[in-house]
Each structure stands twice: as structure tokens, then as C-alpha cells.
Structure 1
Amino acid sequence: MNTLNHFATPQLELLHRGKVRDSYRAPSGERLIVVTDRLSAFDSVLETPVAHKGAVLNGLATFWFDKTRHIIPNHVISLLDPNVTLSKEAEPIRVEMIVRNYITGSMLRGYQKGQRTFSGVTVPDGLTKHQQFPAPIVTPTTKEESDREITPENLVAEGWVAQELYEQMRIKSLELFNFASAWMAERGIILVDTKYEFGLLNGELILIDEIHTPDSSRFWSADDYARNPEAVEQMDKEYVRQWLIQNKVDGQYPRTLTPEVSQEASRRYLDIYERITGAPLPTGNETTTGGDVRTRLVGNLVRAGIMKDAWVNIVMGSPADKEHCQKIRSFFEDYNLFTQLRVTSAHKNGEEIAGMAEVWNNSVEPGVIIAVAGLSNGLGGALAANVNVPVISCPPWKDFAELSANLNSSVIMPSATPNLTVVRPDNAAQAAVRALNLPRLREQLSREIKQTKAKLRAADAELRTL
């Protein structure tokens, strides 16, 4: 399936990996937010991604951030890809402002058990399932391992937020909610409840994270609600939740979805996007959601100057090999590739390889590893056995005696350990460039081969005249 279930790259610093969103540090210092197609339900991320979900969430958030700039500024700088937003780095306020206009979900469950006060807001007796409140209410929670209800007074007393700042957040949350509710009502959608997150940028309150998406909000069809308020179903992923409930085995929810359920979930996400924005999710070219997701995403990030289209990691077994590694690295200067030096010993801290391999094996762009280890080369073999990209060993050597001692350990490898060995640093770099197999690199290599041939012909012609 053409989905983005995982985003990884050795080119960018990972700041946070959430259930759906991954945050990276952009080269310019801003935050890069990648919205994947992962789906979370019942506090668990399913193994089956949902096609277009990430683009829908990111597209809707961008849509609403743009629509609500007159109410409050936000962190968005630009949409780099349907799944990626470049945003300003703000200081997050660790409070979720939840606005509710109907009694449902966890609040309804608490109400049915006798609870009447929620985050300091008291609601009357006699409310029925899914009944609308006279006016929207704000029920804040803390942003901790497990979010908890808290009164505004306790938020201030515990140091989560200052009183004046909380009041700003409360007012802005209600303004945002009322604006979106009116917009959606015109399109037959009820905004039931939602959450807002805020941050500070140069001392100014701004809106961050996401806004009015199916993952942060609850939507109902106005027609369904009018027919039977108590039986109305949440739009979007409630369909998946119900399927999971119906297919529990021994009290455990399924970890995977059937193709039919995944496709229907995708259709529903696309439908809510079109109903809210008035246009279908764009498809069909490199800047929208057409084509292979990873290829499109890498292309857009390369064009934005965020990353290169491929990487080479040069891994040394000891810092003593740094000079040799830098020599190899110098041969990549003309190929516009991301190169990085790493150090780890297969014998002394080989456990570090697993963490590196996690990134390399899941990178959205192609890559090659060059292993540099002298004498007993366990590093090349350890890398080759654990990664799904080419591994080329280029052992350091001072003389032929040292080279002979090293070659045996570099060349003789066990099965399922496809480590290649190249002795010359320049040839190791050339082999890596060829292993990447990118069209632009192949074209460049072809030009270089022609230039070499032309030089040889010219030299031959000159010698023949002597």
C-alpha cells in the first residue's frame, strides 16, 4: 500500500516521535512536522496505516491555521509536502484546552457515573446522551504521560500557566471553536468537541500542534444528529474503533486492519476533508498526494533545501580512523550527497548498531554505509548483517603487511552478511555513489566516464605524434 507509516532519516535530528506525528529539527533551526498515516485507537498505534490519512490531517490543519489567523497567530511557516509542515519553534504550554459543546465521550461516561463537575465546570442534572450545552465549555487537562482533568485555579497554583495567560487561552479557544462551528454548520457538520494547544513565541501567545482535524476533534453529521441524537456516530475513525470492538479476541483489540476496513477508513478521511474544505484532497503531481508517497516527500524536501536526496554514513571502529574516513568523505564533495561520520566498535559497544540501524533501515531516502575498521574487521560484518542498505568496507592500512592482515577479516564473511570490500578510499566512494543508483548520479557518472575516455584518447593522440 502507498502509505507513510514511518518517517526516518539520518540527515535530521529527531525531536519527538508521537503516535501520528514525528518532529525533526530543520537545518535552519525551525521544526519540521511530519504527519504519518499511522492510526491510533484505544491508546495503541495500529500496525496498518491508512492511506491519505496523514495528508488529510496535515491539509486540514493548514486549512484551519490559515482561516483563523485573524483570531490568533500560529506556528505555520509553510506546507512543504502534503504530509510535512515547516513551523516556528515555540515554547509549548503544557496544557490542552478542550472545548466541548455536547456531552459525549469520556465526559458522558463520567456523568453517567454521577460526576457533575469537570475541570472546575459544573453541569446540571438531567442531561441526556449527546445533549448540547447552552454554550460551549472549556475543560482543560495537563499534558503529562496521562492527561488529567484540572481546574483553572489548580493549573495556576501548580505552575502550569499564569492566570492572565490562561484567561487568554480560554478566550481564544472559545473564539476558535465558535468560528469553526459556524463554518462547519454551513456544511452539515457538527463540531462536537476539540482540543487546542498553545505556545509562546517571543512572549506572544500563538496556536501550535493541530487544529480542527479528525484526530483532535469529534465531528457528527448534522442530518444524523437530527434523526437520532443518541445514536449519532462520530465521523472519521470511530468507524475503525467500532470494528476493533466487534473483532476483539480474548479481550484484545486487533493490531491490524483488513484491507477493506483500511480502504473504508481512508475514504472517510478523504470525505471529511472535502466536506470541510469544499474541495477534494489534491492528487496527481509531485507536490500533491499522487505517486509514491516517499518519493514525492523526499523530492519536496530536497527542493525546499531541507535534505539531500541520498546519504552516505562513514562508520569508523575507532576515532583513530578519523583521518582515513575524512579522506573517503572528500571524494563525495562533487556529488551533492549528505555524508556523516559515526564511530562505534563492533567489539566494544556493538549494541549501538541497533539504534543506528533503526534509522538507516527506515530512511525515506536511499543510503549507503562505508565501514572503516582495521585489523579484525567485525564492524563491516556487524553492519551488513543488520541493515538493508549496501555496506562497503574500506579498511585503513599503512603498508601491505597491515593490509594483508586486515583483508582476510574484511573479505571472509558468514552467510547473510553481504559486506563488500574496496581497498582504495576513492574507489570506495565511487562504489557508494554507484550503489545509490540515483538517475542524476548515473548521468553524472556517465559524463565522468566520457571525460576520462576523452582524456585517454587525447593522450594517446599526443603520444602517437611523438
Structure 2
Amino acid sequence: MNTLTHFASPQLPLLHRGKVRDSLRAPSGDRLIIVTDRLSAFDSVLETAIPHKGAVLNGLANFWFDKTKSIIPNHVIKLVDANAMLVKEAEPIKVEMIVRNYITGSMLRGYEQGQRAFSGVSVPDGLTKHQKFPEPIVTPTTKEESDREITPENLVSEGWVTQELYDQMKEKSLALFKVGSDLLAEKGIILVDTKYEFGLLNGQLILIDEIHTPDSSRFWSAEDYAENPLTAAQMDKEYVRQWLIANKKDGQYPRGLTPQVAQEASRRYLDIYQRIVGQPLPTAETEGPDAPLTGRHDTRARLLANLVAAGLLKDAWVNIVMGSPADKDHCEKIRQQFEGYGIFTQLRVTSAHKNGEAIAGMAEIWNNSLEPGVLIAVAGLSNGLGGALAANVNVPVISCPPWKDYAELAMNLNSSVIMPSGTPNLTVVRPDNAAQAALRALNIPRLRERLSKDIQATKAKLRAADEELRVL
């Protein structure tokens, strides 16, 4: 399936990898949020991704952020891609403001066991399943390893927020909920409950994270609810939860979904997007299974192209990895050769013998990078670095060992060229040739075109020199 399950790039430092969203530091200092197609249920991420899910969540969040910006500012700078949003870096408030308009879910389960107070809000006896409250209620929770209910008084006394800030968050939450409820009601959808997250930007309260999406909210079909409140169809990921419950074995939920269930879940996400926004998800028409083969796009390729167009990424990278800081001058000679080619280059230090365990962490980024890349290993004498890299990464590895004289070169070449099976390390002696080999290994159309021009320029220069000599 054409899904985005993981985002990585050596160009962007990872700030946080959540269950669904990956947050990275943008070159501008802002935050880049990548919304993947991962799906979490019962506090774990399933092995099966849901096609278009990330684009649906990102698109809906952007839709609602725009609809509610008159109520409260938000962190959005711009939508960079269907799966990516550039946002302002705010100081997050570690409190989730949950607004409920019906008794259902965890609240219903607690109520049926005799609980009558929820985060400081008291509810009366005699409520029935899925019954609507006279007015929406706010039940905050803390954002810790395990979220917990907490009263507004305790939020203040424990130092999570000031009373003034909490009052402001509550006021904005109820205003946001009203806007969402009213707009969705026009579309035959009930906003049952939802969560809001806030942050501080230069001391000002702003809305962050997501808003009114199928992952942060509970939706019901108004038509189904009118017919029978007890069996109202839930228009969010509850479909997947119920399938997991039905297929639970020996106390364990399935780790993945069947293709049929994943496809149905995708259909439901796309349906809720179209019902709310009023038009189909644009990328679904070019990346879905029914899209014409001639016009179908790859999600990762589209994302890379948009990030490059936005100036957030170069379209390829080269990491020059040295075994010792003493090799830095040699590495800089290689790095200089990439000037003018529009390639992201980075120097890294790791020793295959002294801290080889660090390679695994680096390899996780290299192996999953959105954009193509090449590694150049710089290590002499016993060159275990080139081999260690080649054995652990899925990108080309080129060794360019440093040397002071031919005796040292011979020794370095011997250790670089002779590698065991499963370690496809290539070896180039000259720094300029190592860079040129890396450019060719990237195999990007724009680089191939540029290299062809370089080759023709060299040929023309030689022809000119030959003609000049013949005249003499």
C-alpha cells in the first residue's frame, strides 16, 4: 500500500516521534510536523498503516485551525504538504482540555461503576448510555506518561497552570466546541467529545496539536443517533478498535490489520474528510488504488518534492563519516567538492572499533530517510568503518581513506578494498573522485543532467586545447 509510516532525514533533527506525528526542527527554527499513516489503538501503534489517514488528519486540522483562528490564534504557519505542516514553536501546556457533550466512552464506564465526579465536575444519577448533557462539560487531564483526571483546583495547586490561564483555556475550549458542533450539525454529524491542547507563544495562549479530527474527537451520525442513541454509529477509529476487540486472543490484541479492515478504515477516514470539508481529499484521487496508473503519485516522492520546494530540505544528502577527528581536514577536502551541486552535506564522527554501537542510531535515520543519500567513510589503517557502515545501511558506501604517502596509501587501500561478503563498500582514493562517485550514486535526474554538462564542458576544454596546440 502507498502509505507513509515513518519520517526520517539527516537534514532535520528529530524533536519527538509520537504515535502518529513526527516533529522535527525546521531550518528556520520552527517546527515541522509530519502526520504519518500510523494508527494507534489501546496505547500501541499497529503494524498496519491506513492509506490517506495522515493526509486526512492534517487536512482536517488545517481546515479547523482556519475556521477557528478568530476565536484563538494557533500555531500554523503553512500547510507544506498533505502530510506536513510548518508550525510556530510554542511552549506546550501539559494539560488536555477534554470537552464532553454526551456520556459515553471512559466516562460512561466510570459512571456505570458508580463514579459521579469527573475532573471536579459532578453529574447526577439516572443518566443513560449516550445521553446528552444539558451543557457541554470540561474534564481536564494531565499529559503525563499515563494521562490522569484532575480537578481545576489541583491543576493550579500542583503548578500545571495558573487559575487565570485555566479559566482562559476553559473559555476557549467551550467556544471552539460550539463552533465545531454547529458546523458539524449542518453536515449531519454530532461532535460527541473532543480534546484541545494549548501552548504559550511569547506569553500568549494559542491552540496547538490538532482540532476536531477523527483521532482527537468522537463523532456520531446524527441520523443514527436519532433512530437509536444506544447504537449510534461512531465515525472515527472506533471501527478499528471494535475489530481488535473482536479478534483478541489470549488477552492480546492483533498487532496488525487485515488488508480488508485497513481498506475499510481508510474509506471511513476519507468519508469523514469529505463530509466535513465538502470535497474529496485531493491526494486520494492521485494516490489511491483506483487512481490511473499514468497519473498516480507516490506519497513519499510527493512529500519530498513539496519539502524541497518549500526550502525545508535538499533533495539529497551525503554524510561524510570519519573514524577520528584527526581526519577532519581530509573530510573537508571531500566536502568542498559538493559546492554548487545543491546537496546537503554533513560531517559525522564514529569509530567502528571504539564506539561502533553508535552506528545503529545513525543507520536508523539513513536507512529510513525520505530523500536519497550516500555515505563516504574516511578511516585509515584498519578500515573497519567502511565495512561496518556498508553492512548496516541500505545506501551506497564509499571509502576514501586518508594518506600521507604511498606506503600509508597502500596499507589503507588493503584494509578498505578487502571486505567480507555482505559489506558492499566501494573505495576511491582521490577526494574529488569520491565526491563525483557519490553524485553519480545518488542517481537524481537533475544531477545526471548537471554531470552530463560537466562532462561535455571537459571535452570541449580538451578540444579547445588540442586545437590551440595544433595551430602552434
Q: TM over 0.5: same fold?
A: yes
* Superposition deviation, residue 284 in structure 1: 7.6
Distance apart, 1:162 and its partner CA = 0.2
Would the aligned equivalents of 2:225 and 2:232 in 1 still touch at CA under 8 Å? yes
Matched, 1:383 2:404: no
Residue equivalent to 1:319: 325
Secondary structure at 2:254 match in 1: coil
8 Å CA contact retained: 1:51, 1:263:
yes
Q: Residues 89-108 of structure 1: matches in 2 within 5 Å?
A: 89-108=89-108
* Structure 2 residue aligned with 1:21: 21
- What is the RMSD of the two structures over their aligned residues, measured on CA atoms? 1.4
* Structure-2 separation of matches of 1:337 and 1:285: 32
Q: For residues 188 and 61 of structure 1, do their structure 2 counterparts lie closer, same or farther at Cα, with a shift above 3 Å needed?
A: same
Q: Measure how far apart 1:249 and its partner are.
A: 2.0
Secondary structure, in 3 states, of the residue corresponding to 2:419? coil
Tell me how far apart the structure 2 counterparts of residues 214 and 368 of structure 1 sit (CA, whole Å): 39
The aligned residue for residue 260 of structure 1 is 260
1:98 aligns to what SS in structure 2? strand
Q: 2:441 aligns with which of 418, 435, 445?
A: 435
Partners of 2:287 and 2:299 within 8 A in 1? no
Q: Per-residue deviation at 1:288?
A: 12
Could you tell me whether the CA contact under 8 Å between 2:287 and 2:298 is conserved in 1? no
Indicate conservation of the 8 Å contact 2:103/2:131, yes or no: yes
CA distance in 1, matches of 2:239, 2:94: 30
Aligned length: 466
1:285–1:330 Cα change, 3 Å: farther
* DSSP-derived class of the 2:69 partner: coil
Single out whichever of 230-239 and 405-414 deviates more from structure 2: 230-239
Q: Match of 1:192?
A: 192
Which residue in the other structure is 1:400 paired with? 406
Partner AA of 1:229 in structure 2 = P
Q: What is the match of residue 444 of structure 1?
A: 450
Displacement of 1:235? 1.1
Q: Do structure 1's residue 76 and structure 2's residue 45 form an aligned pair?
A: no
Check conservation: 2:52, 2:284, Cα contact below 8 A.
no
Q: 1:285 to 1:343 in 2, by over 3 A?
A: farther
Q: In structure 1, what is the equivalent of residue 292 of structure 2?
A: none
Cα separation, 2, equivalents of 1:339 and 1:45 = 33
Q: Tell me which residue corresponds to 1:373.
A: 379
Partner in structure 2 of residue 140 of structure 1: 140
Unaligned runs of 5+ residues in structure 1 are none
The corresponding residue for 1:349 is: 355
Cα distance change of structure 1 residues 170 and 184 upon mapping to structure 2, 3 Å threshold: same
Q: How does 1:55-454 map to 2 (within 5 A)?
A: 55-283=55-283, 291-454=297-460
Cα shift readout 1:7-32 (whole Å, capped 9, x = no counterpart): 00000011110000011111011110
SS of 1:385's partner is: helix
Q: 1:285 to 1:393 in 2, by over 3 A?
A: farther
Shift in Å at residue 283 of structure 1?
Answer: 2.9
**Which shows bigger deviation, 275-284 or 35-44?**
275-284
Once the two structures are TM-superposed, the CA of residue 334 in structure 1 deviates from its matched residue by: 1.6
Distance 1:256 1:61, change over 3 A: same
Letter in 1 for 2:202: N
Structure 1 distance, partners of 2:270, 2:83, is 14
Identity of aligned residues (%): 80
Counterpart Cα distance in 2 of 1:465 and 1:156: 90
**Residue 246 of structure 1: how far off its partner (Å):** 1.4
| Cα deviation 1:78-97 (Å, max 9, x = unaligned) | 00000000001111111000
SS in 1 for 2:149: coil
Q: How far apart, CA to CA, are the structure 1 residues paired with 2:267 and 2:254?
A: 21
- Counterpart check, 1:458 vs 2:464: yes
Q: Which amino acid aligns with 1:97?
A: M
Structure 2: give runs of 5+ residues left out of the alignment.
290-295
How far does the alpha carbon of each residue in 1:312-334 deviate from its partner, in whole angstroms, 9 at most, with x for none? 00000000000000000000002
Distance 1:248 1:288, change over 3 A: closer
TM-superposed CA distance for 1:286, in Å, is 9.1
How far apart in 2 are the matches of 1:248 and 1:283? 34
Query: What is the SS of the residue equivalent to 1:404?
Result: helix
> Deviations 1:302-347 (Å, cap 9, x if unpaired)?
1111110000000000000000000000000021000000000000
- How far apart, CA to CA, are the structure 1 residues paired with 2:250 and 2:441? 48
More displaced 10-residue stretch of structure 1: 232-241 or 443-452: 232-241
Return the offset for 1:233. Answer: 3.0
| Farther-moved stretch of structure 1 (67-76 vs 243-252) | 243-252
Taking the aligned partners of 1:312 and 1:332, their CA distance within structure 2 comes to: 9
Between the aligned partners of 1:62 and 1:284, the Cα distance in structure 2 is 17
TM-score by length of 2: 0.97
Gap change, CA 1:286 and 1:452, over 3 Å in 2: farther
**Aligned-partner Cα distance in 1 for 2:424–2:450:** 27
Give the SS at the match of 1:281: coil
Instruction: Kindly provide the amino acid, as one letter, of the partner of residue 52 in structure 1.
Output: H
Q: What is the alpha-carbon distance in structure 1 between the residues aligned to residue 458 and residue 286 of structure 2?
A: 36
Cα 1:442–1:317 shift into 2, 3 Å: same
> Which SS does the other structure have where 2:218 is aligned?
strand
Change (3 A) 1:252 1:85: same
Q: Is the 8 A contact 1:282 1:288 kept in 2?
A: no
Structure 1 length-normalised TM: 0.98
Query: Which aligned runs of 4 or more in structure 1 are off by greater than 4 angstroms?
Result: 284-290
The answer on whether the counterparts of 1:82 and 1:287 sit within 8 Å (CA) in structure 2 is: no
Q: Which moved more, 1:94-103 or 1:452-461?
A: 452-461
- Offset of 1:380 from its aligned partner? 0.3
